[in-house]
Amino acid sequence: MTAMECLERIRDMQIELRKLERDIKELRAKLYSLKAIDYVKEHISGGTPKDLGDQIAHFNARLKFVQNKWARFVRYSDFVDSMINQIESCQLRALLHERYINGGSWEQVAEVVGVSRQWIDRRMHRLAIKEFEKIFKNSLQEFTAVYNECVV
């Protein structure tokens, strides 16, 4: 894995977690909108029954899965952030932190760093990645352990 892939993996994990959070919100809404079973209607056999208990169990299992993903994401992003924090330049640190840890757009990054978007595109981002690559290479063994624990 390269240093850039390491950073991009955080953004991918954030996208996946946002999707899972929406799924949880949808499941929660379905649970709140459940109606009582109408025993007057004819019983149809076959399929798997989805009574309230089944749906709550499904919700709880899904919630636990998402919470586990969040915990792994936090561990991974904290480790990557600790590598970013080793960069000497305050602006380069801020650029990488805002873009990859906070998930900011390039416009937000430019605002935080205090430079134009064009300056970030032309020069700063490349410099920040080069600095991060140095630290990444020195931390590769530790990173691999964290990556295997949190991502794989």
Q: Which of 54-63, 74-83, 127-136 has the lowest mean pLDDT?
A: 54-63
The confidence score (pLDDT) of residue 40 equals 63
Does residue 50 form part of some domain?
no
Q: Measure the CA–CA gap between 126 and 119, rounded to whole angstroms.
A: 11
77 Cβ contact list (under 8 Å, min separation 6)? 10, 13, 101
Of residues 112, 144, 111, the one with CA closest to residue 3: 144
C-beta atoms surrounding 150 within 10 Å? 19
Does residue 84 form part of some domain?
yes
| pLDDT tens track for 21-58 | 998 888 888 877 765 555 566 656 555 546 777 878 88
Mean pLDDT for the chain overall: 87
Does residue 24 form part of some domain?
yes
DSSP string for residues in 77-88 = HHHHHHHHTT-S
The confidence score (pLDDT) of residue 36 equals 57
Mean pLDDT of 80-84: 95
Position 77 confidence tier, pLDDT thresholds 50, 70, 90: very high
Total tally of structural domains belonging to the chain = 1
Does residue 80 form part of some domain?
yes
Of residues 90, 70, 97, the one with CA closest to residue 14: 70
Does residue 39 form part of some domain?
no
- The percent of residues in the chain predicted with pLDDT above 70, rounded, is 88
| pLDDT tens track for 120-150 | 988 999 999 999 999 999 999 999 999 998 8
The answer to pTM > 0.95 is no
Does residue 99 form part of some domain?
yes
Does residue 41 form part of some domain?
no
Range of the domain at 19: 3-31+55-150
The confidence score (pLDDT) of residue 76 equals 93
Cα end-to-end distance, the chain, whole Å: 12
The confidence score (pLDDT) of residue 42 equals 64
Q: Measure the CA–CA gap between 114 and 131, rounded to whole angstroms.
A: 19
Position 96 confidence tier, pLDDT thresholds 50, 70, 90: very high
Q: Measure the CA–CA gap between 146 and 151, rounded to whole angstroms.
A: 8
Does residue 26 form part of some domain?
yes
